[in-house]
Amino acid sequence: MLRQRVLTAIFLVPMALLIILWPNTAVFAVICAATFLAALWEWMLLSGLKNFAARVALLVVAAAIFGALWYGHTTLLMPMMLAVGAAWWLLACLWLRHFAFAAAPTAENRSLKTIAGAFVLFPAWMAALSLHERLPHGHWWTLLALVIVWCADIGAYFSGRVFGKLKLAPQISPGKTWAGAYGALVAGTLIALLGGWLLHVRGAQLLGLAVLGSLTVAISIVGDLIESLMKRHAMVKDSGSIFPGHGGLMDRMDSVFAALPIFAAGLLLLGV
């Protein structure tokens, strides 16, 4: 597993750096939209939507929504979408508590899960735009959001292996432990502090950024668990096979989708 994680990181990290740091926000938005549409395809399969034509039609609708959101992203629509994203992930905590909800493969549950995908992906896309076009250092704020999640994942992995005994959510994701969650929180908070310092944040705002880093990591864990819950309901191991031996886009980005709206909204509230 560690070897697979390292090989995947060697492939993905340089690509992510190029996508974040090189293009302007318009190009970045198109690349992210294409990636998010691929993730939506996997989400629809996890939701139980087997009809190929229906999935294609929903992708076309989603692409149109991305276009509409782009034209409204400089208006009050942006903070509204960030608020919607934050509210969704708080609601998702209740879903984790009642993990059997919508488990049955009925048409109603399939529709409910498909709609839930909109709350996962569209606010995250708007959050990515909000971060990327921030002045100054928007590209670097976007990278910091991802590095917080990546380092939290690394912290969770190693602290879970060394200290993990008590399971975090055994009926949803048996491999996750409370020790792993604590390790993730510590790693993510330290990265938020370091990143904020490098981006010239000081004083009370830096302390606020540390708190935001902790919240971002906590919600990223919720995002990971929600995707695990979807896979449990669908009775599959991975969301896809785009990364051989290591799952699909949702497997790699579930935490990021949850983290982005929280981090972007927090920066707006902090006035950083």
pLDDT of residue 36: 97
CA torsion sign for 225, 40, 239, 263 is negative
pLDDT for position 7: 72
Residues in a beta bridge with 169: 173
Structural domains counted in the chain: 1
pLDDT (0 to 100) of residue 165: 87
- The span from the CA of 209 to the CA of 109, in Å, is 38
What pLDDT is recorded for position 5? 66
Give whole-number Cα distances, 228 to 45, 118, 222, in Å. 14, 17, 10
Residues in the chain: 272
Collapsed DSSP state (helix, strand, coil) of residue 133: coil
Short-list 198, 191, 105, 183, CA closest to 148: 191
List the domain range (segments joined by +) for residue 47.
2-270
Triad 78, 58, 35: Cα angle to 5°: 60
Q: What is the pLDDT along the chain (272 residues), one digit of tens a residue?
A: 667 667 777 777 888 999 999 999 999 999 999 999 999 999 999 999 999 999 999 999 999 999 999 999 999 999 999 999 999 999 999 999 999 999 999 999 999 999 999 999 999 999 999 999 999 999 999 999 999 999 999 999 999 999 988 999 999 999 999 999 999 999 999 999 999 999 999 999 999 999 999 999 999 999 999 999 999 999 998 888 776 556 788 988 999 999 999 999 999 999 98
Full-model pTM:
0.95
